[in-house]
């Protein structure tokens, strides 16, 4: 699986699936979540409401899928990252679960290219270095014959530099 880093806006990424750092309500919010809902249009919200009616809120670490509305992707995989509360062990496990569930769902959907934002590092205050380590580790250990490329879409330079540093040892593999 190829791994790429892009600094930019995840709503503009051409991929089979983009990941939304959602909140448990699935009804939109700030940051990446709000941007995806705004750019994707009302279809995403309509599908999120249907999911909520079927299963209730989305639990932290879990993932659900909608179509991508007006976005240049086929699917949006919504995952609820943990809010940082200084419990490194619990937070790390929940964030790991986000990546595992997203990748598994992407594989089930036959996704070849998936794009991830920096889950939980915005308003949820998860330490960026630790979040980056978890993201890279989970993607690197996920074995897939279907997913060909993972794109880490970094909103800011700080995250971009963290991911570049984390992926540097694997550059020539």
**Residue 9 catalytic?**
no
* Residue 102 · residue 116 · CB < 8 Å: yes
Extended beta strands in the chain, E state:
2-7, 15-22, 63-67, 73-80, 113-116, 149-154
d(CA 72, CA 75): 9
DSSP-assigned states of every residue in 96-133: HHHHHHHHHHHHHTT-SEEEE--TTSSTT---HHHHHH
110's tokens? 């036959």
Name the catalytic one among 16, 33, 86, 97: 33
d(CA 164, CA 75): 26
**Catalytic residue list:** 33
């Amino acid at each position: 699986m190829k791994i790429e880093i892009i600094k930019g806006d995840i709503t503009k990424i051409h991929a089979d699936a983009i990941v939304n750092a959602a909140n448990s309500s699935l009804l939109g919010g700030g940051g990446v979540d709000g941007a995806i809902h705004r750019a994707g249009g009302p279809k995403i919200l309509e599908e999120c409401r249907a999911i909520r009616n079927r299963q209730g809120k989305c639990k932290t670490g879990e993932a659900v899928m909608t179509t991508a509305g007006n976005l240049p992707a086929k699917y949006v995989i919504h995952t609820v990252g943990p809010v940082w509360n200084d419990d490194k062990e619990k937070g790390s496990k929940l964030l790991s679960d986000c990546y595992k569930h997203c990748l598994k769902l992407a594989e089930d959907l036959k996704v070849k290219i998936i794009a991830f934002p920096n889950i939980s590092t915005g308003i949820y205050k998860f330490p960026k270095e630790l979040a980056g380590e978890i993201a890279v580790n989970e993607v690197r250990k996920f074995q897939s014959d279907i997913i060909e490329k993972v794109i880490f879409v970094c909103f800011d330079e700080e995250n971009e530099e963290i991911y570049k540093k984390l992926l540097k040892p694997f550059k020539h593999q």
